[in-house]
Structure 1
Amino acid sequence: MSIDPSSIPNFGGQPEPQPQGPAGPVVPDQDLVKQLLDQMELKHLVDEEGDLVAPWEQFRTYFMFRGEDDQQVFSVRTFYDRPHKIDEKPQLLESIDDWNRRTLWPKVYTHTHDDGTVRLIGEAQMLIGMGVSIEHFVSSTVSWVRAALEFDRWLIEQLGLEGESGEAAQPEEGDGEA
């Protein structure tokens, strides 16, 4: 199964072409996501646990498949690396509650580490075990990546974190699949 390059929504704001692919439902896999990321011109690699990841300067977005058979789930999870102090957590919670009320994805939550730093995680999921249309899979995945980028920009603006950005990180030569 492959994705027609003209079907990939762009990041430039022009109208999005309609994906063309298999007529019936497909069960997406990591190779399909790699093709999609390649066509979106996003750098990616496979980590030591076998998960596909696209790194940016301030966060990493993972594309994971969990479960078996008809219960398989595709999860796009973004780990925002910017550390926040524990005393900033109430303001963070207020901000992400606002984000979660206003948007469909990613749903964002906090994780407090043992050292007292707070980090944010965004997540969106799709049940894929019975198959999904290629159009739905592509448009959802692209929307989730866009939303992960937008959340980082939005949070910088909300918290006044001037000078920080989530520009795409370029993996070093040889950092390909592990």
Structure 2
Amino acid sequence: MSIDPSSIPSFGAPQPQGGQPGGAPAGPPPVIVPDQNLVAQLLDQMQLKHVVDEEGDLTAPWEGFRVYYMFRGEQKELFAVRAFYDRAFPLEKKGEILDLVDEWNRETLWPKVYTHTHEDGVVRLIGESQMIIGAGVNLEYFVTTTANWTQASVGFEQWMVERLGLQDEIENEEGDGAAEEGDES
């Protein structure tokens, strides 16, 4: 399926009011079955870097996490935006992290965040939002929702940094990296 990039709304910019001459409504909005190409066009419009990973999923990397745009199910009827956050927590901190995740999940609509404990005892966070698309979905709704889910995934990372007081730690790591690069002369 090919969607003309000009048909994807420009976020923040006023949209011309469509319709037929005389002010009559243009009819029902278009219903489409989204695919990876549409999501790639949307990410391009949002000016987000993205790649296709080894498993064929579209991925947008950020510093500290990655957001995956995945189509699942026998007929690709489920669309998911899943963020994998790189920050590792020791198993002893899992209770504290669960309390924070519960707070986020109570106060926000998406992404819903959960923990994943690896075999080595490291706890990481995953955020996820999903919609069923097999019967089709309004194009504008899909585009707006995908953009909002992406922004919310970024927002969660920022929220965690604030809640855990990690901003100084992150700035020190960035400063240490710059100092180390300068020491190589």
TM-score (norm 1): 0.82
| 1:62-77 alignment, distance < 5 Å | 62-69=68-75, 72-77=77-82
1:71-126 deviation digits (Å, cap 9, x = unpaired): 70000000001111111111100001000000000000000011111000000001
* Separation (CA, whole Å) in 1 of partners of 2:10 and 2:53: 25
Aligned mate of 1:48, from 44, 48, 54: 54
| 1:18-37 alignment, distance < 5 Å | 23-37=29-43
* Separation (CA, whole Å) in 2 of partners of 1:115 and 1:155: 23
One-letter code aligned to 2:77: Q
Determine whether 1:143 maps to 2:148: yes
CA positional deviation for 1:6: 6.8
Match of 1:170 in 2: none
One-letter code aligned to 1:136: Y
- Greater relative contact order, per chain length (Cα 8 Å cut-off, separation 6+): 1
Conserved 8 A contact 2:8-2:143? no
One-letter code aligned to 1:31: N
Structure 1: give runs of 5+ residues left out of the alignment.
Answer: 166-178
Match of 1:108 in 2: 113
| 1:10-25 alignment, distance < 5 Å | 14=12, 17=15, 23-25=29-31
Conserved 8 A contact 1:25-1:131? yes
Moved over 6 A (4+): none
* Separation (CA, whole Å) in 1 of partners of 2:153 and 2:15: 22
Structure 2: give runs of 5+ residues left out of the alignment.
Answer: 19-27, 172-185
1:34-82 deviation digits (Å, cap 9, x = unpaired): 000001000000001100000111000000001134x700000000011
Aligned length: 159
Q: What SS does structure 2 have at the residue aligned with 1:114?
A: coil
CA positional deviation for 1:17: 4.5
RMSD: 2.3
Conserved 8 A contact 1:68-1:129? no
Larger radius of gyration: 2
Q: What SS does structure 2 have at the residue aligned with 1:78?
A: strand
Conserved 8 A contact 2:8-2:140? no
Q: Equivalent pairs: percent with the same residue?
A: 54
